[in-house]
Chain A
C-alpha cells in the first residue's frame, strides 16, 4: 500500500513540480501574476503540516457529500501527498534552474531559441542532473510520510503494525514495518548514487559553467 501510494504520488509530483518551477522562471512583468501564484502555492503547502493536509482532504472532502467528489481515501491521500510534495520538489527544481549560469541561457537565446526552448534544451537538462540527490532526499521523505496516511484508516504498513501490536502487545510488528521502509529507501539511495556516477562518466557537465 505504501509503495503504491508513493509511486502514484511520485508520478504526479515529478511533472507537476517541474511545471511549477518553470512557471516561476517565466520572465518579465507580463507573467508576474503567474509567478506570484506559483510562489503562494509553494509557500502555502510547504508551511502546512502534511498530516493537516491529509486530514483536511481525507476527511473533509468526502464529508462535503457532493456526489461528483470521489470518496476514496486512497485518492485523497494521493492528492494530499502530491500537493505537499509538489511544493517541496518545485523548490528543488528551482534551485537547480538557478544554479545554471545565466550565460547558458544567454548563449541559447543568442541562437534565436525562445525562453521555453532554452529551458527545455539547455537549462533543464543541466538543472535536473544537478538536483537528482536532493530530489531523492524528498522521495525518501515522501516514502516515509505515506505512513501518515494510516491516520485516515487506509491500512498501510504502519497502521497494520499498530493493529498487530495492539492485538499481541508485542513490539515486533513495528520493527518489521521499520525494516520494510528502510528496505525500500536504501535501494533508492544506491540507485541515485549509480545515476550520479554514470552521469559523471558520460560527461562532467556539473563541473563546467
Chain B
C-alpha cells in the first residue's frame, strides 16, 4: 500500500446554528481517487473547502501528507500550495489571460521565474488541448474550456492532492465529457483526488472508493461496484433511485 495522502478525523463544521459536517472520518492513500456523492447541501463542498482550509473547522483534525494542517500556527498559505482545488463555477480571474491565470500561483506562491512558469504552463495547456487559447481571456472560452483551464491552473502548482468540487455541474451537457476526460487523465497519471460529483457513471469509472454523504456524515462507503449495485443503506438506495429517475446514471 502507498503512503497516506489525506486523513480526515471526526471533522465538525457549523455555519451559525446549521451543523453542516457532523463528524466526518475519511482517509485517502496516495494516488487514490475517492468520489463523494450525496444530495445538494449534504456537506460535500463544505468538506472540500475545509480540507483546503478555506473554511476553518470547529472540531476534529485534517492531516495532509502526515502533517496536521488544522493545528494552530500552521502556515495556511504553505499548506494550500500543496492542495489544489477546482470549483464548480471555475472562478478564473477574468482580467487575466489563460496563461496569466495559470502562471499566477507558480510565480507568486512558488516563486518560479516568469520563464519557468510559462514553460510549465504551456506544457500543461498543450496536454489538455488548450495551447491555442493561451492568450485568450476567460470570457472568450466555452464553459468546458474554462473549467479545463481551472484544472490546469490547479495542477500547475504541482499539488500532492487535488480537490474537485462538482466541476461539471455548471456545464452544458455536451461539454461535460471533455472535462471528465481531463480528470480521467489526471487519475491515470496518479494524481490523488477527492471529488464531489453528481456524475455517477464517472464516479463508477474513475473512483477506487465512493462515499455517500448524508446530512453531514459519511453514511456508506465502498468500491463503486458495491455502492452502486448493492447499497446497504436505505438512504443510499433512495438517493441512487432519484439519480436514475433523473436520467443521470
Contacts and interface: CB of A to CB of B under 8 A. Distances in A.
Given A126-B95, A203-B94, A203-B139, A110 B104 contact: no
Interface in A95-138: 103-104, 106-114, 117, 121-122, 125-126, 129
Contact of B87 (A103, A114, A125): A103
Contact of A111 (B78, B81, B89, B137): B81
Contact of A107 (B83, B93, B109): B93
B47 to A, nearest CB: 15
Contacts of B110: 112
* B92, B93, B153: most-surrounded residue (chain A CB, <10 A): B93
Contacts of B94: 126, 203-205, 207-209
Given A113-B105, A121-B104, A205 B95 contact: yes
B77 A112 contact: yes
Interface residues of B, number: 28
Contact of A110 (B54, B78, B139): B54
B248 to A, nearest CB: 25
Given A121-B108, A208-B139, A106 B54 contact: yes
Contacts of A106: 54, 87, 91
Interface in B64-114: 77-78, 80-85, 87, 89, 91-95, 104-105, 108-110
B144 interface: no
B107 to A, nearest CB: 9
B191 to A, nearest CB: 16
Contacts of A202: 137
Given A106-B54, A203-B137, A208-B139, A112 B109 contact: yes
Contacts of B77: 109, 112-114
B38 interface: no
Contacts of A209: 91, 94
A111 B95 contact: no
Contacts, number: 79
B69 to A, nearest CB: 13
Contacts of B54: 106, 109-110
Contact of B108 (A103, A110, A113, A129): A113
A195 to B, nearest CB: 14
A108 B100 CA distance: 12
A interface SS class: helix
Interface residues of A, number: 24
Given A103-B87, A121-B104, A204-B139, A111 B93 contact: no
B206 interface: no
B27 to A, nearest CB: 22
B95 A203 contact: yes
A112 B52 CA distance: 10
Contact of A117 (B83, B108, B153): B108
A129 to B, nearest CB: 7
B138 interface: yes
Interface in A163-209: 202-205, 207-209
Nearest to B109: A112
Contacts of B157: 111-112
Contacts of B95: 125-126, 129, 203, 205
A108 B87 CA distance: 12
Nearest to B104: A121
Contacts of A204: 94, 137, 139
B148 to A, nearest CB: 15
Given A107-B87, A117-B109, A121-B104, A112 B80 contact: yes
24 contacts: A103-B87, A103-B89, A106-B54, A106-B87, A107-B87, A108-B104, A110-B54, A110-B80, A110-B83, A111-B81, A111-B105, A111-B157, A113-B105, A113-B108, A117-B108, A117-B109, A121-B104, A122-B104, A125-B95, A126-B95, A129-B95, A202-B137, A205-B94, A207-B94
Given A106-B54, A111-B153, 14 more contacts: A103-B89, A106-B87, A109-B77, A110-B54, A110-B83, A111-B81, A111-B157, A112-B82, A112-B105, A113-B109, A121-B108, A126-B94, A203-B95, A205-B139
**9 smallest A-B Cβ distances: which pairs?**
A111-B105, A112-B81, A112-B109, A107-B91, A208-B94, A203-B137, A205-B95, A112-B80, A205-B94
